Structure 1
Amino acid sequence: MPALLVVYGIANVVGNAIVGRFADRYTMPILLGGLIVLAITLAVFAGFADNKVVSEAGLILICTD
């Protein structure tokens, strides 16, 4: 669990640093892209919920999106 929290924290910091720079200029494309990534991630998470690796990767993507 601690390793998962570390990865989650790093993903949040990197995501905010990268997306934050573009969010002011390209608000709607960033929002649309985020919703598309979230929808795909939720579908994959639901389909592979029994696979530990895919579930953890999906959880990180869902929480950071």
Structure 2
Amino acid sequence: MMGWAITFLVIALIAAVLGFGGIAGTAIGIAKIIFAVALVLFVISLVYGLVAGRRPPVL
């Protein structure tokens, strides 16, 4: 997901340099949303890994 966020950020930067403000604004908005989702999923995964890692193994 971070790859998609970086891709949209690069698209936004290129569009801004070329003068396409609407496309740049949309691309940066999408990049922000994808980054936020990736960050939330990372935190959930981190917490789940810490909680699941402390359980004794099931035999």
Task: Work out whether the TM-score is over 0.5.
Answer: no
Larger Rg: 2
Q: What is the TM-score normalised by the length of structure 2?
A: 0.45
